[in-house]
Structure 1
Amino acid sequence: MSDTSESGFDPNPPRRNFYGRRHGKTLRQSQKGYLSEDLGELRPCGITLQDNPERTPVDPAAIFGNDRPVWLEVGFGGGEHMVHMAATYPDINIIGCEPFINGVAMLLGKIRAAGVTNVSVHPGDARDLMDVLPDASVERAFLMYPDPWPKARHHRRRFVTPEHLRPLARVMRPGGIFRVASDIPDYIRQTREEVPPAGFETLDDTAVAWDDWISTRYEQKALREGRPPHYVTFRRL
């Protein structure tokens, strides 16, 4: 059994199942180049068990070389939103987590094209990153069009469950903002039910996107298929 501190930080988290795909279609040669040439420089050290077996907390300032506010995107998909935020807010740092390697390759191409430098990429499960981030180290977090896991028996795999939300609440500073966007009504239902008990209050719950929003490929697909998006904003208590 792991020894969890009073703050909720667990230096020896239990082994966990991974939910979702890691690989998709064959990568283009250019995407393979992004992975081999760019990922190493952008990948934060100390996240995986291999490079941090003691699960020592990782200081975001050591990742970025500065003490700017840190934002976190959970499952960045193709990277449109993450790169847009990095370019729109150059005075923040943003870490993106995505285990789907095709999405990582797409993000790296967008980072090159945009020329943003205030980004770090964890090509893995966000839970591994939250295991080692210090308490109250994240100012803003994003969950944009997460995997819906539509079957009832798979709802426990959704991010909006205590297994994920409690670690997120630990790493977020008081007053920090957590945004969720989805086109799946039942996912929004579960979000409304599960997020507040984890230590958040609801600020906004609407069909109108945020002022600084960029529509992603997943949102465009939802609109084409007649599923209206929904946007919920929470604040860490």
Structure 2
Amino acid sequence: MNESHTASPDWQMTEGTMPGTAGPGRRRELMSFVRRSSRLDKRLQKAWDAYAGTYLLELPQYDHRELSVATDFHFDREYAHSVWGNDNPLIVEIGTGQGENIVAAAQKRPDVNYLALEVYRPGVAHALLKAGKYELSNLRVCEVNAPDLMRAAEDGLFEEVWTFFPDPWPKTKHHKRRIVQSTLADEVHRALKTGGSWRIATDIEDYALHVHEVMDQRNDFDNVGDLTVSLPTEHVSKGTADMAAQLPHADFTESRRFEGRVLTNFEKKGIEAGRVIHDFTYRAV
């Protein structure tokens, strides 16, 4: 997910039954991540032991399956109030990586509540460590599959949803595993308040085209960007990315860089490698 363009597989989530779709003959949707090792080094284990009790949000699981959310659990306003102790606006980050962005945001905006979603345990531990270091009362971290959490969310609960630098799944056969999909967009729209925003960023040109294909034709989101960007109108794969410049191009609308996103080392490396950062702001209507 966030800031993880490569993965070292420990085990892979595969097709099968899924909360909300379980039953004979039903298939679970493809997962947008490869589950990596959950082992923590001594420093991160120490951080987990010290801060998980305060900052880790543990949700009831479906049939004891890791990263799932029980189908009878409702992430509603009452539950949010019990967690944060107030009714402040709530912003959710899908794929928080090591927590740089959401921790910086929580420091800057103590009047806003933040929820970091991450599937990789070392990333969760890093976010817990940062939250504890700065003693943030408005941040919680959840080790969960984001679509499961979105399905459990009450209508209109979230102020914003962020998805920054998701795994691009560069091979053509894997494009269907990309986290930005119409099914997730349905759930994000339902969970966002009217006028709330889904902010997305990627440094992969082909993923930018994918986002436009998924989002721009929807009538429940407005693309509120004001930049014109030229992109290939055909997809490339991991082995054919160098051919993108030769393909037909068209103009698309994107956003200026979101000021609320800090410049992480990951993003710096992308810029230094010559990749263009694509920002999107889709407003729920």
TM-score, normalisation: structure 2: 0.73
Residue 68 of structure 1 deviates from its aligned partner by 0.6
Give the 3 Å change call, closer, same or farther, for CA 217–124 of structure 1 in structure 2.
Answer: farther
Aligned mates of 1:43, 1:85 — CA distance in 2? 18
Q: Secondary structure at the match of 2:35?
A: coil
Aligned mates of 1:72, 1:198 — CA distance in 2? 23
1:56-71 alignment runs, 5 A limit: 56-59=73-76, 60-71=80-91
Q: Percent identity?
A: 28
Aligned mates of 2:143, 2:37 — CA distance in 1? 14
Residue 96 of structure 1 deviates from its aligned partner by 0.9
Residue 186 of structure 1 deviates from its aligned partner by 1.2
CA distances 1:197-221 after superposition (whole Å, capped 9, x unpaired): 1721001144742233311232122
Considering only CA atoms, is the larger Rg found in Structure 1 or Structure 2?
2
Show the counterpart of 2:221: 200
The equivalent position to 1:13 in structure 2, one of 15, 20, 23, is 20
Give structure 1 stretches of 5+ with no counterpart.
1-11
Show the counterpart of 2:234: none
Give the 3 Å change call, closer, same or farther, for CA 134–221 of structure 1 in structure 2.
Answer: same
Residue 168 of structure 1 deviates from its aligned partner by 0.9
Aligned mates of 1:120, 1:72 — CA distance in 2? 10
**Alignment partner of 1:22 is 2:35:** yes
Aligned mates of 1:192, 1:200 — CA distance in 2? 12
1:161–1:194 CA contact under 8 A, matched in 2 = yes
Residue 31 of structure 1 deviates from its aligned partner by 0.5
Show the counterpart of 1:141: 161
Give structure 2 stretches of 5+ with no counterpart.
1-18, 23-27, 226-252
2:155–2:191 CA contact under 8 A, matched in 1 = yes
Residue 90 of structure 1 deviates from its aligned partner by 0.8
Q: Amino acid of the residue matched to residue 185 of structure 1?
A: E
**Alignment partner of 1:212 is 2:219:** no
Aligned mates of 2:185, 2:39 — CA distance in 1? 33
1:75–1:143 CA contact under 8 A, matched in 2 = yes
1:47–1:129 CA contact under 8 A, matched in 2 = no
TM-score, normalisation: structure 1: 0.87
Q: Amino acid of the residue matched to residue 39 of structure 1?
A: A
Aligned mates of 1:118, 1:159 — CA distance in 2? 26
CA distances 1:139-158 after superposition (whole Å, capped 9, x unpaired): 11100000001111111111
Q: Amino acid of the residue matched to residue 23 of structure 1?
A: R
1:12-91 alignment runs, 5 A limit: 13-14=20-21, 16=28, 17-24=30-37, 27-49=40-62, 53-59=70-76, 60-91=80-111
Aligned positions, number: 226
Aligned mates of 2:153, 2:54 — CA distance in 1? 19
Residue 47 of structure 1 deviates from its aligned partner by 4.6
Does 100-109 or 56-65 show the bigger shift? 56-65
Does 148-157 or 204-213 show the bigger shift? 204-213
**Alignment partner of 1:232 is 2:245:** no
